[in-house]
Structure 1
Amino acid sequence: MSSILDSVNQRTQMVGQNRLELLLFKLRGRQVYGINVFKVREVLQCPELTQLPQRHAVVRGVAHIRGQTISVMDLSLATGGPPLENIHNCFVIIAEYNRAVQGFLVSSVERIVNMNWGDIHPPPKGSGRDHYLTAVTEIDKQLVEIIDVEKILAEITPASDIVSQEVIQKSAGREPQDKIVLIADDSSVARNQIKRTVEQLGMKVVTKKDGREALDFLKDLVDEGKRVNDEILLLISDIEMPEMDGYTLTAEIRGNESLKDLWVLLHTSLSGVFNQAMVQKVGANDFIPKFNPDELASSVQKRLELDQ
């Protein structure tokens, strides 16, 4: 128990400091990719894979690991490249996204690096709309690409963003006409899922690509002489974002006299035992894992009830 508590304490010390740890890996060639360590359960040599009939082309098979049957996805195939070869020499990154456990097949695993989110940047302009990057950074003078796993998962197993009529009816006729819901998320897939969910409740939405953009937007409202709570019903923020993560964004809001009363809902694909401790430390009002449209809609409605 003490070791678990020590681990929690070590992680929570990073909260509000805009830091993360990246696991670096390769697919084909020399290009290096990264994934947030928070999402990783373990890394292992590729086990024996069982083929499934009518499986998605990206899924190379399933493996039985720690009592679970886990789909193993070829990240090279998933991002538009050729399949990885000699998979018995490859590695599988076991990760948890959006309430489910997946295996990602990679050719090699390099190391873990501690970084500042301020050194993680959105993909460069001109990358197009069909790329699979959520961010880029530079380590040892080499470009590191951070893959938009949520986009990959949405293409393999699309999630419904339809809110049930039963949930919609709970707030019908009480939609605020003078307030917006602010969304901050670096994944275009996630932003659109959240946007469509909130709009089904009859509410207006403004979206931003990261915590820095969202904070600048809030500060601009204050500079215009507006009260933030008169303009915004709540902020729905992802946690891992380039430039500024959701924990740091929340801490910045709570430390600003003009913003501190804004309702903040952290909505993230990150899972694990550390999240509740982190959420409490930075002072978020609510926290839910991605992605369940009814649950997200109900969280927005909970804030709406308090506002009326």
Structure 2
Amino acid sequence: MAGVLDSVNQRTQLVGQNRLELLLFRLSGQQMYGINVFKVKEVLQCPKLNEIPGRSGVVRGVAHIRGGTIPILDMNQAIGRKPLEGLEECFVIITEYNRTSQGFLVKGVDRIVNMNWGDIHPPPQGAGKEHYLTAVTEVDGKLVEIVDVEKILAEVSPINEVISEGVVEDGLSERVVKKRVLIVDDSTIARKQIQRVVESMGIATVIKKDGREAIGYLAGLLEDGKDPLNELIMIISDIEMPEMDGYTFTAEVRANPKLKDMYVVLHTSLSGVFNAAMVKKVGADDFLAKFHPDELASRVNDRVLAITGEDLLSESE
């Protein structure tokens, strides 16, 4: 337990400083890629892989690691390239996304670098719609591409986005006809997943791809003489985002007297043990691990009831 607490303390030192640590790795060529260290549980030489019937082509097999069985995905193949060869010389990055563990097969692992989110930028506009990047940056004068792992996982194992019956109160959307939910996320896939859930509840959304864009949007409302607290039901924000991460975004919202009472939920695939401490530190109202439509819908449902008064069920009696 002491080791876990030490890790929490070390990581929380980056909170509010708009910083992150990237693990750099390579695939089939010399191009360098990066993944947030928060999502990495360990890195090891590729273990023996066991075939599984009916597997996706991207899944090279499963490995028995630390008493558990983990699927191993070929990162190179997942982004549309040829399968990696020479598995005995490859490495596996064990990660935790969306409450599950999986390994990503890579050709080589370089090092960990400490960076500022302000130096992490969205992919170039000419990259097209089908690329697998959430961001790019530069390390030692060389381009580093940050892969959209959520897009890969959504393609390999699609997530159910249907809300279960009874999760959302009848007539909920009628109470907030003119209000919207602000969604902030750098992953195209994640934005669409959240948007579809919220809009299936009959509630309108506003979409921004990072914290800086979201701050600009809120500032624009104020400049137009509008009160964001009246315009928005809540903000659902990712943590990992280029330009400005979710922690820094939340801290800036709290620092603005006209925004400080905004309801902010941090919605992320990062490991929960770290985030519990971080959410408290930056002053977010809630934390929700990605991605479960019922839990997301329930948070939105409860927030609507909180800002509109009595429970809908009591009104219908």
TM-score, scaled to structure 1: 0.98
Count of aligned residue pairs for this structure pair = 308
Residue 6 (structure 1) aligns with: 6
Q: Which runs of 4+ in 1 moved over 4 A?
A: none
Residue 21 (structure 1) aligns with: 21
Mapped contact 2:39–2:97 kept (Cα < 8 A)? yes
Which runs of no fewer than 5 residues in structure 1 stay unpaired?
none
SS at match of 1:214: helix
> Aligned letter for 2:249?
L
Cα 1:256–1:298 change in 2 (3 A) is same
Please say if 1:114 is aligned against 2:105.
no
> Aligned letter for 1:188?
T
CA shift at 1:91, angstroms? 0.2
> Aligned letter for 1:289?
A
Residue 212 (structure 1) aligns with: 212
Cα 1:74–1:95 change in 2 (3 A) is same
Mapped contact 1:175–1:201 kept (Cα < 8 A)? no
SS at match of 1:165: coil
Which runs of no fewer than 5 residues in structure 2 stay unpaired?
309-317
Mapped contact 1:28–1:76 kept (Cα < 8 A)? yes
Mapped contact 2:173–2:203 kept (Cα < 8 A)? no
Mapped contact 2:172–2:301 kept (Cα < 8 A)? no
> Aligned letter for 2:260?
K
Please say if 1:301 is aligned against 2:295.
no
SS at match of 1:150: helix
Cα RMSD of the aligned pairs, angstroms, is 1.1
CA distance in 2, matches of 1:170, 1:278: 35
CA shift at 1:176, angstroms? 0.1
Which digits, 9 at most, give the CA deviation of each residue in 1:75-120, with x for residues without a partner? 0000001110001110000000001000000000000000000000
- 1:225-240 to structure 2, matched below 5 A, reads 225-240=225-240
CA shift at 1:11, angstroms? 1.2
Cα 1:271–1:60 change in 2 (3 A) is same
Residue 263 (structure 1) aligns with: 263
Which digits, 9 at most, give the CA deviation of each residue in 1:5-52, with x for residues without a partner? 332222111111100000000001100000000000000000000011
- 1:1-308 to structure 2, matched below 5 A, reads 1-169=1-169, 172=172, 174-308=174-308
Mapped contact 1:171–1:301 kept (Cα < 8 A)? no
CA distance in 1, matches of 2:171, 2:82: 48
> Aligned letter for 1:104?
F
Mapped contact 1:38–1:272 kept (Cα < 8 A)? no
SS at match of 2:135: strand
Residue 312 (structure 2) aligns with: none
SS at match of 2:44: strand
SS at match of 2:198: helix
Mapped contact 1:168–1:200 kept (Cα < 8 A)? no
> Aligned letter for 2:24?
L
CA shift at 1:170, angstroms? 5.1
CA shift at 1:173, angstroms? 5.3
CA distance in 2, matches of 1:86, 1:175: 59
CA distance in 2, matches of 1:9, 1:86: 39
CA distance in 1, matches of 2:250, 2:228: 14
SS at match of 2:29: coil
CA shift at 1:171, angstroms? 5.4
SS at match of 1:274: helix
Cα 1:173–1:42 change in 2 (3 A) is closer
CA distance in 1, matches of 2:185, 2:69: 30
Residue 315 (structure 2) aligns with: none
CA distance in 2, matches of 1:65, 1:184: 35
Which digits, 9 at most, give the CA deviation of each residue in 1:60-89, with x for residues without a partner? 000000011000000000000111000111
CA distance in 1, matches of 2:212, 2:94: 30
> Aligned letter for 2:257?
E
CA distance in 1, matches of 2:136, 2:95: 20
Which digits, 9 at most, give the CA deviation of each residue in 1:234-259, with x for residues without a partner? 00000000000000000000011111
Q: Provide the identity percentage.
A: 63
Moved more, 99-108 or 157-166: 157-166
